[in-house]
Amino acid sequence: MSEPLRIALAGLGTVGGGVVRLIEANADLIARRAGRPIVITAISARNRWKNRGFDASRYAWEDDMVILGERGDVDVVVELVGGADGPALALARTTFEAGKALVTANKAMIAHHGIELAKRAEAAHSALKFEAAVAGGIPVIKGLKEGAAANHIHRVYGILNGTCNYILSTMEDTGRDFADVLSEAQAKGFAESDPSFDIDGVDAAHKLSILSSIAFGTAIDFGGVAITGIRRVLAADIAQADALGYYIRLIGLADVETGPDGKRRLFQRVHPHLVHRDHPLAHVDGATNAVVSEGDFVGRLLFQGAGAGDGPTASAVVADLIDIARGDIGAPFSIPAAELDQATRADSGHRTGKAYLRFTVADRPGTLAEIAAAMRDAGVSIESLIQKGRVEVGGEDRALVSLVTHHGPESAIAEALRLLDGSPSLAEAPLVMHILQE
């Protein structure tokens, strides 16, 4: 058997500890599948003395994790610290300067600096792999880069954040409101003490921008993702969606189109959607993730599984290490970084579809007429309207008015909301959730 692949591990939290335990537990199997042993030679974390469930004294320790990238007894650095910048980015740059490979689960760093790091990796003839950065243990990046490599991918979308999916599906099952379920999710460890990145859609947007690049051969454009989180979804919205035959899910969606000028336009949005109960994503509940891709020859592919956790994420990290041990370097984004298209951002206004709109209004005569008039003047056709439920806003009791539009342009909905902007009948800005199209 060949010489071992020697790795250094930065970060010994949930995922890092899982990587150590996986490599120790399945060493023989991993060696057979990789063609050579994979061994840990050095580690680094914030607290050297913390009990992590394994014997850390077996490995060399570095207080400064950036030094891991410079060690002569390391072939691959595994970065599991997180953060778009700071020590994680410094370690990545040092690793490639030293001609070594990098495996990371850091979706924020890849979303913000992935193209730079890909160019550094390619210049060093080293590997940059990040399967664990998107959807935990689900091999969606490998599926797009390898299994669907011969296809033009037209659209990629899915449930990319387990915290949001747990909250929404629990609201669905129990009828409880968002704040109550969020507190429970934090108590159970499904949500961070500061859950903003998750519930405001940023985490899903990081992952979507990475998937878009791989699926469409475009440069990462995290800044081009339109982001709306789930903070404003009420139990009443869940109930009304259910009555209409839908479930609510936070969906990250991206597609490409070619404009009349021959240039490709990239559309990316993270947004709570109504998903028809017959759609496969409607039945993805709890902390599960699922990604759908649509290719010209392969058709629709569904990737589903655990989107987080020590075991699934560690599995993805070690799968990347096995690929590197086999000699698989390849372009990090399937196409060399210099050849990725600089697609322009698509305008959402010309997109068409159906939408759910919820208004929180003063319960007084004329309110419904005002909403209907704005829809009429903007050219929005109403399919159904429900006035059911109440909520307290600013200490005052308010009524809820919900409607579903017929298929039409999103620009018309935007115009209707512009006409209603500033109306004293509205207690707060309307909530818009698009209906996922087949």
- Which residues are designated catalytic? 207
Burial of 160 (0-12, 13-18, 19+ CB in 10 A): buried
How far, in whole angstroms, is CA 292 from its chain's centroid? Answer: 13
- DSSP lists the bridge partners of residue 345 as 266
Beta carbons of 94 and 66 less than 8 angstroms apart? yes
Beta carbons of 432 and 356 less than 8 angstroms apart? yes
Burial of 49 (0-12, 13-18, 19+ CB in 10 A): exposed
Q: Report strand pairing: 352-353 vs 408-409.
A: antiparallel
Residues 6+ apart with CB under 8 A from 29: none
Beta carbons of 7 and 43 less than 8 angstroms apart? no
Helix (H) or strand (E) holding 196: helix 196-199
Does residue 77 sit in helix, strand or coil? Answer: strand
Angle value at C-alpha 98, between 92 and 104, nearest 5 degrees: 25
63, two tokens: 């207080």
- DSSP lists the bridge partners of residue 44 as 10
Beta carbons of 205 and 225 less than 8 angstroms apart? yes
C-alpha 148/C-alpha 378 separation (Å) is 42
The beta-strand segments (E) located in 261-313 are 264-276, 288-295, 299-306
